[in-house]
Structure 1
Amino acid sequence: MDSAPLKGGRGSATMVQKCKLCCRENSVDILSQTIKPYNAEDSEKFKTIVEFECRGLEPVDFQPQGGFVAEGAESGTPFNDINLLEKDWNDYDEKTKESVGIYEVTHKFVKC
């Protein structure tokens, strides 16, 4: 994940946006040490998979796109660069001779 520098040398953040009205710099930083996997046993449950530090901004929507990875639960087959833009993904696991997939991706933000 790339970081952008914050004004005045106050560090960096994953996303920095300047308000067009007041010129204030706002930021969202993905706290990389909080990233956790979502496994088959987590299926159909909400689980915290990442935390953000937000200053001046509040996330309201999540649009998953490319870059996700998965591993066959029984076969260990890697599936790379999964695109979840359509909220669904499916493929075929040659080792188990079965269809695999991720379906009905949903999310919620919890303010701490």
Structure 2
Amino acid sequence: MSRYELKPRPGNGVIKAVVGWDRPLQTFFAQIFTPTDEEPEEGEATIWLGTEPGELLSPEIAIRVVEAYADIPETLAADLAADMNATVGVKDGLHQAAAKRRLFGSIN
């Protein structure tokens, strides 16, 4: 799994934006965090895509989710693609496969 925390743009109420690659789910993910009364500095994910297998199939899709809220480094799409490519051929461990079967009915 990879995870990149991005610098939020000022004035939109966002305290954190995150994108990454989740190898077990075979999806990119994107998260936007906004402050809460209970956790003003950590906040809660008010936008969170990429929680289902294959939900976000390209780095560009994940980046589009967060680009209105955060500064996007020039190399981010290439870095995310490299993260995905580095996991080609990596198989689920015994526990990951069991969890996938339980959650999704499949290990693929």
TM-score, normalised by the number of residues in structure 1: 0.27
> Which one has the bigger strand percentage?
1
- Greater length-normalized contact order (CA 8 Å, ≥ 6 residues apart): 2
TM-score for the superposition, normalised by structure 2:
0.28
Query: Higher helix fraction: Structure 1 or Structure 2?
Result: 2
Higher radius of gyration, 1 or 2 = 1
